[in-house]
Amino acid sequence: MRRINYQFKDATLCELALTHRSCGKKNNERLEFLGDSIVNFVIAEDLFKRFPEAKEGQLSRLRAQMVKGKTLAEIARDMNMGDYLRLGSGELKSGGCRRESILADSVESLIGAIYLDSDMQVVRTHILQWFESRLNNLSLDQTMKDSKTRLQEYLQSRRLQLPEYHLENVEGEAHDQTFYIKCVICTLDEPTYGVANSRRQAEQESAKAALEQLAAQGAKL
């Protein structure tokens, strides 16, 4: 894996980092746990220095944007990690090497492995290299509250009934599901809908659609 730009002294750590739990008991879950903590710290430290005027909430939202599964999976794809993952037969057949959650977890486990193979300074350098373009494109304008929070605050400020989110349907296998959510608010005649790979994100999408409809009606959000 030349794209990670790191040469392991202990090759077994690299192998373990790329071994999914579908392969058996000896897998990358413990390394993933370690890497998750490390990447959160390194990104938090960089944001703290990068945005000295930012408030705690803004820094938290920027960090969440950087370390979320989608971003980590994008970094895994940048490094073609899917080509090197060790998966069980079931995951191989179902396309696990392309699954966002597996790719994201593999980045965290790789971070944990590099840390154990070297030290904090080395792993920090690599993390910041992998995230460099994304970090450079960040701004405090991206720290707006999420859609569910904005919708709730809008309704609360007008003493209106809070949104109701209803799970309409779930499709797919347990490891790769799609959630369909309906959002109902009293100020809109029709409900809005959200679709995503997690219930939480689907709720956010339905709230976002409601905000867009309110804005189209002239609401001051």
Q: What is the set of active-site residues?
A: 36, 108
Residue 183 β-bridge partners: 165, 192
- Paired tokens of 205: 């999408």
CB 199 within 8 A of CB 167: yes
Phi-psi map region of 181: left, alpha, beta (phi>0 left; psi -120 to 50 alpha): beta
Burial 151-164 (b: 16+ CB within 10 A, else e): bbebbeeeeeeebe
What ranges in 51-183 are assigned the alpha helix state H?
Answer: 56-67, 69-78, 89-93, 100-117, 120-136, 147-157
